[in-house]
Amino acid sequence: MNRRKFLMVSGAAAAVSAGMATLPAQEVRPLTSGGGNGVGGSKPRVKLGISTYSYWHFRAPKISIETVIDRASEIGVEGVDILHRQMEGEEKGPLDAAYRAYCNRLKRRAYVNGIDLICLSTHQNFVIPDPAEVRVNVEHTKKCIEIAYQLGIPCIRINTGRWNTVNFDTLMANRGIEPILPGHTEDEGFKWCQDAIEQCLPKAEECGVILALENHWGLARTPEGLLRILNAIHSPWLGCLMDTGNFLEEPYPKLEKIAPKAVFVQAKTYYGGGEWYSLDLDYDRIAGILAAANYTGYVSLEFEGKEDPNIAVPKSIAQLRKAFGKA
């Protein structure tokens, strides 16, 4: 190639790059293929991960993050999704030098095992009438953003929180439905939650960490509730975490509604019977829903059954590999 042709090609490439740079981040879509969503006949590219929660369901003994990283490497997935409460130290403790050193050890452990750290699944509650309590939860979420940044994780799972008018076992028995706090309204809850998320977004942008709001219990129990929040806040640093197991009735049309907003996916399996409930999820159908939405990110296994995870997790990953065309 002579110098003139080189300059012409380089100039054209620069023009294309400059044009793309002017698009808002949420409008830049990767090229995908399959199902009429791109070129060629293959499915959109999806990577698989394992949530550390798959090995620890909040009961002793607590399985270390390092152990899950090692097992994920042996199974051959690309990523690990860390449950914040499963990490060493106090959940609400400070992000001090010792905690940062622990994060660096995890980051090194993942790197030498060929594993990406892909999400930090955190807990917070924004459905609280007391502004001081909401502020505590906002500051905790900001700290979690900093932890993700320290670990090199580009995304954290956040929840709306819930009214906490019943305990969790009762909530599960009631299929995720709970009474509103006496003297308050659902509209108030949505305002508290939206305001709190907006307070977290500057820190998210500063650290380059996306907030992924999960279709979890509380205000995001329904697709309408989740989308009410996401559509009210216009930021490329906020998206949806699609949990396949949190819509207990007629899940597929509900998953279709939120899939276009998804920036991360957690996929439930229930071998041995679920800890609180079981769903018979059709992952071929779910893979089709995500392909139709041009989703090309991570799908992270959240095994929530009673079978030995050393047996159930590899079996679950095999199921997801088959559904997402990675067998």
pLDDT digits (tens, 9 = 90+) for 207-241: 999 999 999 989 999 999 999 999 999 999 999 99
Portion of the chain with pLDDT greater than 90, in percent: 82
Cis peptide bond upstream of 61, omega within 30: yes
What is the CB neighbour count within 10 angstroms for residue 209?
23
Q: For the domain covering 35-323, report its CATH number.
A: 3.20.20.150
What is the CB neighbour count within 10 angstroms for residue 189?
23
What is the CB neighbour count within 10 angstroms for residue 69?
24
Strands (E), the chain: 47-51, 79-83, 116-121, 155-158, 210-214, 238-243, 262-269, 298-303
Cα-based angle 79, 30, 117 (whole degrees, multiple of 5)? 15
Residues in the chain: 327
**Six token digits for residue 164:** 């906490």
Q: Which of 196, 192, 173 is nearest to 181 (CA)?
A: 192
- Give me the chain's average pLDDT, please: 89
What is the CB neighbour count within 10 angstroms for residue 91?
13
Interval 105-129 mean pLDDT = 98
Task: Give the integer Cα–Cα distance in Å for 209 and 202.
Answer: 10
Residue type, 111: Y
Residue 44, pLDDT score: 53
Select the more confidently predicted residue: 305 or 23.
305
Task: Give the integer Cα–Cα distance in Å for 113 and 130.
Answer: 45
- Domain boundaries, given as residue ranges, for the chain: 35-323
